[in-house]
Amino acid sequence: MSKELEKAGLPVALVSAMFPVAMQVRANRIVKGVSIPHPCGDPSLPKDLDARLRREIVRTALKALEAEVTGPTVFSPGIP
Amino acid sequence: MTTIVHIVNQFFAGLGGEDKAGMPVGVIEDVAGAARGLQLQLGEEAKVASTVYYGDNYFHEHKEDAMKAILEAVRSAQPQVLVAGPAFNSGRYGVSCVEVCNAVANALGISCVTAMHGENPGIGTYLDFANTRVYCLPTAETTVGMNDALKRLAKFAMRLARNETVGSAQQEGYIPRGIRRLEQTDRPGAERAIEMLLKKIRNEPFESELPMEVWDEAPPAAPLAQVKERRIALVTTSGVVPWGNPDRFKTYRNTHWRKYNIAELKELEPGKWETVHGGYNVAYMNQNPHYGVPLDALRSLESEGAIGPGKLYPAYYVIPGNQGSPAVMRRVGQEIAADLKKDNVEGVLFVAT
């Protein structure tokens, strides 16, 4: 699905916990998600830290959209 | 007696070459051009009731009119089977053959068979449709393969007319459509898997029961300069939908997508949203929908200026991705892309589970 968006000329930042699979299916801008049932955040963290982590993931995805890539590339969110 | 309608372009109808490619849809209430050869192969068993033709350019430039006229012509002949082509490596012709087969199969509920070379762009269209009633046989690259192609088309058409069970692409020789079918066997999976494994270890040939999809490569789209000035949208396969699942998504194998308004929202309140997905434990996301649709983070980045004011698209797109077939997901991706482009979206955040 994300590849069809890219084919239409839309850069896609794919937030996924299954980044090896995302690499295998040749997604281009891959952002490491936390885990499959909660890619954008971590419920084991206190609420405010969880929200900061989520913001970091989204910020990384925005950065990925600005990045020049030539093939599948993984972007890792920093720990806030 | 079986009735067949044969679809050909202007060239194979014997009406002219490139100079006649603008010719509209026409019907010959008999066999003409390539259809004559098809009738020869069919012999006494079936009759080609009519030959429907169109110019290669006309079809693509006036697709709606062309398709309407073709459907009408086919319907009035009441065939049991439709044959289109062979198109060899002729691109416009190949794509039109597949599109006509797909439209006829859907509108009339009959089986259709076409034939073309493996590198004809029509094959891509064939894979996109993956229509259970449409088959495409491989041919040579050029008309050198005409006799052979017509012979196989005739044979295949007769099997379809007799409603014979058509087996897998590998057994039957048509081009695989990427459709997986359930089969019954009296040997348990473990036994079959170990047998395959032993064959693999012994370097013997073996055949997978679940051939893996071959992924095509999409070159990366150009990056966005100054993301904060760009229109961004969120797309997700997580399955977060409004509480009550108003569009009746299933937990698996969905075939439609929806977009839900978030224009006025600062965050997604738990209890107003639910997650429909059969592939993972949705409890976390039900408690906090932001794990799939991080609206709180997007709004916070918006207030910081990392996303420009009003640059976040006012709705998010969703289809629960569980067990989505690649063909369906390709189509959904294309439809969402078209919708995003229409509204001038420039980049996508995609949350996959």
Tell me what ipTM this predicted complex has: 0.96
**Residue B217: per-residue pLDDT:** 67
Report the percentage of chain B scoring pLDDT > 90. 79
Q: For residue B82, what are the β-bridge partners?
A: B5, B112
Domains of chain B listed by start with CATH number: 2-172 (3.40.50.2300), 227-351 (no CATH)
Q: How many CB pairs under 8 A join A and B?
A: 184
Taking an 8 Å cut-off on Cβ atoms, the answer to whether B283 and A8 are in contact is no
Distance, CA of B81 to CA of B330 (rounded, Å): 29
8 Å CB contact between B118 and B175:
yes
- Upstream peptide bond of A37 is cis (omega within 30 degrees of 0): no
Distance, CA of A12 to CA of A72 (rounded, Å): 11
In chain B the first and final C-alpha atoms are separated, in Å, by: 54
**Residue A78: per-residue pLDDT:** 84
Residue B233, φ and ψ in degrees, nearest 5? -130, 155
Structure confidence by residue, pLDDT tens digits, A11-70 = 999 999 887 778 767 789 999 999 888 999 999 999 999 999 999 999 999 999 999 999
Asked if B300 reaches chain A (Cβ–Cβ under 8 Å), the answer is yes
**Residue B128: per-residue pLDDT:** 86
β pairing state of B26-28 and B46-54: antiparallel
CB atoms within 10 A of CB A5: 27
**Residue B224: per-residue pLDDT:** 94
- For an interface test with B, the pick among A10, A56, A70 (most B C-beta atoms closer than 10 Å) comes out as A10
B:118-147 residues touching chain A, CB 8 A cutoff: none
Distance from CA of B204 to the nearest CA of A (A): 27
8 Å CB contact between A41 and A34:
yes
Reply yes or no on whether the pLDDT at B213 is more than 70.
Answer: no
- Upstream peptide bond of B86 is cis (omega within 30 degrees of 0): yes
| Helices H / strands E in chain B, number of each | 11, 12
Asked if A23 reaches chain B (Cβ–Cβ under 8 Å), the answer is no
Structure confidence by residue, pLDDT tens digits, B93-131 = 999 999 999 999 999 999 999 999 988 889 988 988 999
**Residue B267: per-residue pLDDT:** 96
Helix (H) or strand (E) holding B40, with range, is: helix B34-42
- Please name the residue of chain B whose CA is at the shortest distance from the CA of residue A7: B218
- Please name the residue of chain A whose CA is at the shortest distance from the CA of residue B226: A66
Structure confidence by residue, pLDDT tens digits, B253-269 = 898 999 999 999 999 99
- Name the pLDDT band for B216 (thresholds 50, 70, 90): low
Residue A77, φ and ψ in degrees, nearest 5? -65, 140
**Residue B344: per-residue pLDDT:** 95
User: Which residues lie below 8 Å from residue B148, measured CB to CB, with a gap of 6+?
Assistant: B139, B140
The length of chain B, given as a count of residues: 353
